[in-house]
Amino acid sequence: MHSIIELTRQRDLDALEYSLVATVAELLPVSSISLRRTAPDCQHADELEEILRIEVRKVANGKPTFACRQEQAMVPLDQEVKDCIEHRQTRVCRQPQGLFRTLLPIYAESQFMGVLEVVSHEDLTASTELLEALVKIYSNHLIIIHESERDKLTGLLNRRTFEKKLLRLLSVQKENKALSQRTGGSKERRACSSSSQAWLAMLDIDHFKHINDTYGHLYGDEVILMLSQKMKQVFREGDLLFRFGGEEFLVVLEPVPLEDAHHALDRFRKAMADHVFPQIGKVTVSIGFAGITANDFPQTIVEYADKALYFAKDHGRNCCYNYETLVAEGKLEAAQESGSIDLF
């Protein structure tokens, strides 16, 4: 009962996902549980993104212990999953080695959202009503959280979710670094870690006030919508996209080398510059970005990216600059970490 109460009180998407899987693991005799969701703007209809998995590895003192894996991966749809989705019905399938696989489709307001897979040594047919109830609670809260975390005009993540998601990213980076130090890691992993990191980019629409004043807010909204659509098209599925307020947007890029980050952001800048609006003509964006390290405060990272953005604004607009590069070249003074900026 306690785990169900925890599931119903969640107001955070990541916590909600974990709570659903943990609740099932605690209530039923399972071997593994996998939560698979439709990836944002995924172009492939034959796969889902596994965002969370719990494995029951051993039993100590009569109580199972769980190993949680949150490394996201794309999983192809097999025929059993396809049947589950097509018929919108729970399926219990017998598997090799005496296992049973229970598949539950997840829908939110008639929109398909994903599948919950439960694998057990026992036939859980008698527990399908309980599982379906838990999935329904999850999908109902999914709608509420989506509305609270998303900007109504663009569908991008909103400003109120930024700090929470960035702090979570920093926490994961610290955990990965600690794990790498304990295990040593492979040479390939160390090489990747030394040249790749996450990045925070600030995007600002050039002369946006002039667009609103000249053409009206309806045309301004059209520009914002087109920009958000191009963000979804250009950036990767794992990148986090935010409307930070007005004409300002943020992108948190998954770990890549500096050159790749700059290339991705500049590709977006060019995509916007090449688009022609019927009434307005061409609209450009300026971009500043900075590396995200586990030791930085969110406010500090935003400050670095903001300084690079203002450099772009002061040097012709319609351009993209990296904070660390500007500091290394002596074009910007290194900012002093104050921790006193109140963004939220």
The residues that are catalytic are 247
3-state helix/strand/coil string of 3-36: HHHHHHHCCCHHHHHHHHHHHHHHHCCCCEEEEE
Q: Alpha-carbon distance 247 to 212, whole Å?
A: 11
Nearest Cα to 118, choosing from 155, 145, 91?
91
Q: What are phi and psi of 257, to 5 degrees?
A: -65, 160
**CB contact burial 313-323 (16+ within 10 A = b; e otherwise):** beeeebbbbbb
- Residue with token string 């598997």: 95
CB-based contacts of 99-107 (< 8 A; 24+ apart in sequence): 99/31, 100/124, 102/128, 102/131, 104/128, 104/131, 104/132, 104/135, 106/37, 106/135, 106/138, 106/139, 106/142, 107/139
Identify whether the C-beta of residue 232 lies closer than 8 Å to the C-beta of residue 222.
no
Tokens for 332? 């910007």
Identify whether the C-beta of residue 7 lies closer than 8 Å to the C-beta of residue 20.
yes
Identify whether the C-beta of residue 251 lies closer than 8 Å to the C-beta of residue 235.
yes
Nearest Cα to 91, choosing from 112, 113, 119?
119
- Residue with token string 């199972």: 64
